[in-house]
Amino acid sequence: MPHYEINYLAEDGHLTCKFAAQCERDVQAKVLAHAMRAREFKFLEVWSDGAMIYARPDNPPWNSAALRR
């Protein structure tokens, strides 16, 4: 089963919360990311094998991958 990393970010782009999950498909990881999102988290990202596969909103005001890599 694939491993996913789900990140929640603050309005300024700083990582607020991170957790790992195992899901059968990408869509399940995306649904889980939305279901676990707390109100104070402004942005979310879903990563698989070092690649971001999903982010909301689509175009955050920063490049979060560059911030943490």
pLDDT digits (tens, 9 = 90+) for 24-48: 999 999 999 999 998 888 899 999 9
Predicted pLDDT at 43: 94
Report pTM: 0.81
**Using 50, 70 and 90 to split pLDDT, how confident is the model at 60?**
low
Domain that holds residue 38: 3-68
Structural domain count of the chain: 1
Token pair, residue 57, equals 């909103």
Strand ranges of the sheet holding 43-48, from the earlier edge strand across to the other edge: 15-22, 3-9, 43-48, 51-56
Token pair, residue 6, equals 């789900």
pLDDT digits (tens, 9 = 90+) for 13-27: 899 999 999 999 999
